[in-house]
Amino acid sequence: MENTPKKQSNVYVNVTKQFNKAADLMKLDPEIRKILAKTTNEITVNFPVKMDDGRIEMFTGYRVQHNNVLGPYKGGLRYHPAVDIDEVRALATWMTWKSAIINIPFGGAKGGICFDPQRYSAAEIQRITRRFTFALGCNIGPEYDIPAPDVNTNAQIMAWILDTYVSTQPPHERQACTHVITGKPVEAGGSLGRDKATGQGVVYTIEEWAKDKKFNLKGATYFVQGFGNVGSWASILMKQHGSKLIAVEDVTGAISHHDGIDPDDLNAYVLETGGVAKYSRAKPLDHKSFMSTEADIFIPAALENQITKETAFLLNVILVAEGANGPTDIEGDEILQERKIDILPDILCNAGGVVVSYFEWLQNKRSEFWDLEEVDSKLRKLLVNAYMRVRDTAEKYKTDWRTAAYIVALMRLEKVYKERGIFP
């Protein structure tokens, strides 16, 4: 597909370079650096699933656990044909930094299955999900490793994982396992506000940036890549500030309208048709023109490596708010910095999802049910505090915000390792 950007570099190489830059600058203890440079466990499972027509297909799934010194492993599950061990390693590592920046008691993990869910029926996806959960077995668990949604996975898939996991536990322990997964439907033990949490977090961090810069969000223009969970919610919540969505791209294509696209109306259209490409209240756009859109804010909310040495020069914005994980590669990052385009880095900007996952986990453990106001106000507080830590660290070290975000995370991890020591 012409407007489908390809993966351009190995994302784990990017994570390692980002880590090294921050570790050098903050002078991370060399012994602790050795530990954090490695993932802890890498689980690969190959498993058979019966298709609707009776054939058997083999699938490969992964769960990478990067670090759990701050708490249980935590991170999403992705269903996508580009999922491989390196991508999952990178995503797991980012989760460790994210939880550490926000100050929640979780470590980092990520998982996924390498397949294209568009090519399978709902019944097949359910069987693939259940068989993957079974294959992972006790490598996940409510106090050990807690998955959540990511690209092409949703609350329904989380409910199937919950049901499969508890079905494999002894009967008297089943009710104590609801927190094995977060991002569940609310009726199945999910939290209010988890569906919009990542997009909400993106908007809270943009609000803080706007306050700092004395930038008025009312009337500001923005464009969004990816109109799934993160992109659609970020778009809808930006509308509440009176900001104007002027272009959107998803896997089906890109569209734009200078007078603005109504995110609620587009969301209803996408839920019905599966993509933005044929939305009649906007005109189609090629990928290069989409990336060149003149606007105040760009919110990448799709996949990795979209802002690269080829595309970073095209951007015509003052802020990139990274809803996606790893949307900017190393060269893209350098170009944005040279061009003085502000960046709210992924490990800060999209942390709203893991925060409300933490709230869901807490509610399940305590048999509580919080109202939406409580969830939102606690989320905002944690994100604003993290934003301020990153901003102040960037100032202190005279560095870019991504490196500053890493330094905030690494300092916390370094402190805990020093306090606990290394066994034996």
- 350 touches ligand NAD (CB under 6 A): yes
- 168 touches ligand NAD (CB under 6 A): no
Q: Which of 26, 303, 330, 394 binds ligand NAD (CB under 6 A)?
A: 303
Q: What is the CA radius of gyration of the chain?
A: 21
Q: Which of 228, 263, 332, 345 binds ligand NAD (CB under 6 A)?
A: 228
Catalytic residue at 418? no
**293-to-153, 244, 246, 290, 299 alpha-carbon distances in Å:** 29, 13, 8, 5, 12
Give the DSSP H/E element, type plus range, for residue 373. helix 372-397
β-strands 253-256, 283-285 pairing: antiparallel
Task: Pick between residue 287 and residue 412 the one whose CB is nearest to ligand NAD.
Answer: 287
Total residues binding ligand NAD (CB under 6 A): 25
Q: Which two tokens stand for residue 63?
A: 């769960």
d(Cα 105, Cα 70) in Å, to the nearest integer? 5
- Closest contact distance (angstroms) between CB of 421 and ligand NAD is 32
Q: Which stretch binds ligand NAD (CB under 6 A): 132-140, 255-263, 297-305, 383-391?
A: 297-305
Of 135, 10, 187, 153, the C-alpha closest to 82 is: 10
Sheet strands side by side (includes 221-225): 283-285, 253-256, 244-250, 221-225, 297-300, 319-321, 342-344
- 4 touches ligand NAD (CB under 6 A): yes
- 198 touches ligand NAD (CB under 6 A): yes
Task: Judge contact between 362 and 335, C-beta under 8 A.
Answer: no
- 152 touches ligand NAD (CB under 6 A): yes
- Closest contact distance (angstroms) between CB of 419 and ligand NAD is 29
d(Cα 154, Cα 194) in Å, to the nearest integer? 11
Q: Which two tokens stand for residue 400?
A: 């870019």
- 324 touches ligand NAD (CB under 6 A): yes
- 251 touches ligand NAD (CB under 6 A): yes
- Closest contact distance (angstroms) between CB of 285 and ligand NAD is 12
Task: Pick between residue 74 and residue 412 the one whose CB is nearest to ligand NAD.
Answer: 74
- Side-chain-side CA neighbours of 278 within 13 Å: the count stands at 5
Position of tokens 């587009």? 266
Catalytic residue (one of 110, 184, 196, 244): 110
Task: Judge contact between 297 and 318, C-beta under 8 A.
Answer: yes
283's CB contacts (< 8 A; 6+ apart) are 255, 256, 257
d(Cα 68, Cα 317) in Å, to the nearest integer? 37
Q: Which of 77, 146, 230, 375 binds ligand NAD (CB under 6 A)?
A: 230
Q: For residue 229, say whether it is annotated as part of any ligand binding site.
A: yes
Q: Which of 106, 222, 227, 358 binds ligand NAD (CB under 6 A)?
A: 227
DSSP one-letter code for 190: P
Task: Pick between residue 191 and residue 399 the one whose CB is nearest to ligand NAD.
Answer: 191
Q: For residue 67, say whether it is annotated as part of any ligand binding site.
A: no
Task: Pick between residue 228 and residue 263 the one whose CB is nearest to ligand NAD.
Answer: 228
Task: Pick between residue 203 and residue 302 the one whose CB is nearest to ligand NAD.
Answer: 302
d(Cα 215, Cα 3) in Å, to the nearest integer? 32
Looking at residues 48 to 67 of the shown chain, list those that interact with ligand NAD (rule: CB under 6 A): none
- Per-residue contact track with ligand NAD, 380 to 409, x per CB under 6 A? ------------------------------
Active site residues: 110
Write out the residues near ligand NAD by the rule CB under 6 A. 4-5, 149-152, 198, 225-231, 249-251, 301-303, 323-325, 350, 353
